[in-house]
Amino acid sequence: MKEIKKWKEKVEPINLNEDEETILNQMGLKGSTRRKFLKQVTAASLSICASNYFSSEVFANSIHKLPDNAGVLMNEIKLKLRVNDLVKPLTIDSRTSLLDALREHLILTGTKKGCDHGQCGACTVIIDGKRHLSCLTLAATCENKAITTIEGLAKDGKMHPMQEAFLKHDGFQCGYCTPGQICSAVALLEEAKNGDASFVTDNLKQMQRNLKLSEEEIRERMSGNICRCGAYNNIVQAFKQVHSGNAEMPTWQFATKEQMEKAKGA
């Protein structure tokens, strides 16, 4: 049998196209050397396909063999978080971010996960009066601190003035960035009261309390909160209203009947 196989291999040419012929010729592979080379290449390709199959099989089997205690946390810690004036005991992996602790463990899903990399501001919460990105904060570092999320801003069934202003000025569209925007804006009110500096502060030597923030300042200080819907103008308007205490007029209005008719006729 072996002899017949060898003979078949010798007489049966392997069908190559023109390009393959050229490449093999350029490599100086002819006759038995060429056949040997092609066999090795075929064997290598087959082994790659087979390894894919076997590794997935092995992986599938290993899942079934996970130990019964697989749900046990590897770096388990116990801590108490004070969130929205309630103390909540937690058992979590020590590497859990505050964002995941809030959303996954305490089911406070108002705080949003946008980028999970500190770049969008959707996860902003207030910790001890200052705004923080909860995706970049370890939950384990927040024990004994007062955490306020969007769920904790309304009191006695009444919305926070910033929430009301966002509604009045239409400061959102899809609403995904809104909890972060509002928490950021609420903490910014405190920053202005305390006279904290920003990138556009003119004179750092003469900082005063109770700053009256210009529109430029508001935009700069809120620039860590990205809104993909582009509701920025209305967000600034909402902030200005709460900051100044004056009823700002919305920058938008419903179309009048005449305008609607005109638009229909156009």
State the residues that interact with ligand FES by CB under 6 A.
Answer: 113-116, 118-123, 133, 135, 172-178, 227-229, 231
Q: How far is the CB of 150 from ligand FES (least distance, A)?
A: 14
CA-closest candidate to residue 242, choices 197, 212, 201, 202:
212
Judged by CB, which is closer to ligand FES: 184, or 241? 184
Give me the least distance between CB of 137 and ligand FES, in Å please.
9
**At its nearest, how many Å lie between ligand FES and the CB of residue 141?**
16
Nearer to ligand FES, 93 or 116 (CB): 116
Provide, rounded to whole angstroms, the least separation between the CB of residue 153 and ligand FES: 17
Q: Which is nearer to ligand FES, 176 or 220 (CB)?
A: 176
Q: Which one, 101 or 211, has the nearer CB to ligand FES? A: 101
> Minimal distance in Å, beta carbon 179 to ligand FES?
10
Please state, in angstroms and rounded to a whole number, the distance separating the CA atoms of residues 247 and 233.
16
Which one, 14 or 115, has the nearer CB to ligand FES?
A: 115
